[in-house]
Chain A
Amino acid sequence: MAKVLIVDDAAFMRMMLKDILVKNGYEIAGEATNGIKAIEIYKVEKPDLVTMDITMPDMDGIQAVKEIKAIDPNARIIMCSAMGQQSMVMDSIKSGARDFIVKPFQPERVLEAVKKALS
């Protein structure tokens, strides 16, 4: 089963995503609270997919996308964004993100995006 790395500085959001994914048979490769940690875990675990929050301390999601893409050009990353982050989403798409989901999360939307990103 596909392994997913969840990156978000809010534990609540990580939890929620984790629940949605695990319930639907995905394996969690790890959780990170910022971009730097996300890169560290990515290198070790080589997850099939990353869900990446945009606004995070230390290193934000957009920078993390760039660096992960630099390590692995085939990395599949879905951005987790909120309303009003349109331009940041576009920036992350330019940096190589596959898709994005918008908070508040609706489980079926999350799953649709994950499925499509993995296909």
Chain B
Amino acid sequence: MDMSQYLDMFIEESDENLQNLNEWILELEKNPDDKETINSIFRAAHTLKGMSASMGFNDIAELTHKMEDILDEFRNDKLKVNSEVITVLFKCLDTLEKMVDGVRDGSSEKTDISGITKMLDDIAASGNSSNGDEAAATIEEAPLKEKAPSNSINFELNVYDEDIIKQAKEKNYNVFKAEVNLYNDCKLKSARAFLVYKNLEESGEIVKSIPSIEDIEQEKFDYSFVFVYVTNKTAEEVKKLIESVSEIESVNVSEVEINNTEEAQSKEAKPKEESNNKNVKSQPKKDDRTSKKAHQFVRVDLEKMDKFMNLVGELVIHRTRLEQLSSNYKLTDLHETLEQVGRITSDLQDLVMKIRMLPVEKVFNRFPRMIRDLSNELGKEIELVIKGEDTELDRTVIDEIGEPLLHLIRNSADHGIEPAEERIKAGKKAAGTIKLIAYQEGNKAIIKVEDDGRGLNVEKIKQKAEKSGIDTSGMSEQDIKNLIFMQGFSTSEKVTDISGRGVGMDVVKTKISAIGGTIELLSEEGKGTSVIIRLPLTLSIIQALLVKVGDETFAISLGFIDRVISINTDEIKLTNNKEVIIYRDNVIPLIRLSDKLNIKGEDGKDKFVVIAKSGEKTAGLLVDSLSGQQEIVIKNIGKTLSGLKEYVGATILGNGLVTLILDVAAIV
């Protein structure tokens, strides 16, 4: 059987299970005696084992099998969970992640699992367990096999069947196992069975059939067949439906109960877990998951999505063109129709943007584990509070935001949070708190990383700055704090493994600017630091100001624009041989776009200055005139022109004109 078609599904589901494992192991560390958590871990390992074995990834199957062995010992109280066990479990998880990554990358390299299995064996040996393998073998069999009574048909449910059945049950469907015996002189048995199945398909679904449907169709069966049927009808109704077909000797319908004990336990477990207040972060996720299950999902290739997005972009462009034409020629009828088209395209645009959105949870959920490791490594007690993980962002932003956040959290843990003694001396509670908060504000998504640590030491930064030759006189405190965003600026006296290699904050800042976001720093010495990141919800459709320089029109993203002022060129002053303007007592360096871009500007003295901000840099861009604000779709300018640093892309305006979009960050 060709399994490659299942590969994507396998990887995705494995990722999901690994993530769950991660959460549950953390949970287990907090409540080592929580049987439900152990059961959940066990199930996830079991599912992984089933999947990987079906796919032929035997090393994954072997490792998860070993994990099951150990977990079973915990379930049976033969072993106690301690920190060493947790560490080994995390190591297992890391190894599994590596192996799944290997599968994803298509590498045939075999991961060595002997080390980790040895560790698992050691744990097993440390308990008073008599025979681990045997125990594992029994759990292997017990939940899976269900012998059909009074029938020779060997009826087994595999992991997938169980999954389907579980899902069906969650949706309140009845799941029946039905056994049908035909008259033993029945002719055209296949057609008979087919008729039974067809009657049933009308009000439910047959999820498993033994013999298989194919075998039945080829009459490769005796006079009995068994199947699992998911329906909203009662057992009685199902029986009647089957019996409405003639030449049936007997029908036996019984409710399917898979993993009887586990099912019941997990049902019990849910409310318990939810009432557990300590577990702030995993709670919303669970709620989320259950509500998600009610929806149906389609997996779509991201490339197709991008193409779709692009096409919608084209549509928007042409709509704008049509609108312009209709207003040029004053065609009322056309105008009305276009208004409709306009509404629909806006809706379409909204929709395609929403489709591309993902909850930041995808990024956030790796941090609890990281904090755990960090607090062990640093010997500090750190608590991570996550809020608003359901805030949605464009997929491309999600992909980029992980690394900067990682830096920020590491910084907080390493530099921000003080050692416990120091905290107690300062009258704080021993455990430090790092908060990771996301929410939406207008058309921006905000992500905050807050800690209640020692805050930035302005004096230290000042000293460091002066050492590196920066004149801090006349700088406000906030300006000094912002120096940490400068390249190569690190105040930590000792370079640790975690942060402080001098590539911290400036990298964060660059990355955030690259995706059109801004970063702000608030810090109070002794109280803590909070970094606020503002991100655009989407990247490809932006509001832009159109400006003219000479005969050329350019677009500038509104995100960069602070304000626009009109000036007379006589107001331009010179300092240090550089042109500046004075605006509200601020000296702002002036950049003549005509010079910068080598275009002949218009003569005349009445011009406009677009005051643009990129990060902490501000500059005035001198342009000849303004031609209004417009929603534009960013298009790549292609490889040939990729050397042009001044532009982020191009767009097509309503009048069909191709316009370049200025990269303010590169110009300022």
Contact = CB atoms under 8 A, between A and B. Distances in A.
Interface string A102-116: 100000010011001
A89 B198 contact: no
Interface residues of B, number: 14
A107 to B, nearest CB: 13
B188 A116 contact: no
A85 B246 contact: no
Contacts, number: 43
Interface in A29-84: 81, 83
Contact of B188 (A85, A94, A112, A119): A85
Interface in B58-86: none
Contact of B194 (A81, A85, A93, A101): A93
Nearest to B195: A93
Contact of B187 (A90, A99, A102, A119): A102
Given A86-B191, A89-B191, A100-B191, 12 more contacts: A81-B191, A86-B219, A99-B246, A100-B188, A100-B195, A102-B187, A102-B188, A109-B246, A109-B247, A116-B243, A116-B245, A119-B244
B190 interface: yes
Interface in B635-668: none
Residue of A81, A83, A109 with most partner-chain B CB within 10 A? A109
A83 B187 contact: yes
A113 B192 CA distance: 12
Given A86-B219, A100-B195, A116 B190 contact: no
Contacts of B194: 89-90, 93
Given A93-B195, A93-B198, A99 B190 contact: no
A83 B266 CA distance: 52
Nearest to A113: B246
Contacts of B217: 90
Interface of B: 187-188, 190-191, 194-195, 198, 217, 219, 243-247
Contacts of B187: 83, 102
A86 B191 CA distance: 6
A100 B193 CA distance: 12
A107 B660 CA distance: 86
B245 A89 contact: no
A8 to B, nearest CB: 18
Contacts of B190: 86, 90
A109 B245 CA distance: 11
Contacts of B188: 81, 83, 85-86, 89, 100, 102
A116 B198 contact: no
A116 B244 contact: yes
A118 to B, nearest CB: 10
24 contacts: A81-B188, A83-B187, A83-B188, A85-B188, A86-B190, A89-B188, A89-B191, A89-B194, A90-B190, A90-B191, A90-B217, A93-B191, A94-B198, A99-B244, A100-B188, A100-B191, A102-B187, A109-B247, A112-B246, A116-B243, A116-B244, A116-B245, A117-B244, A119-B244
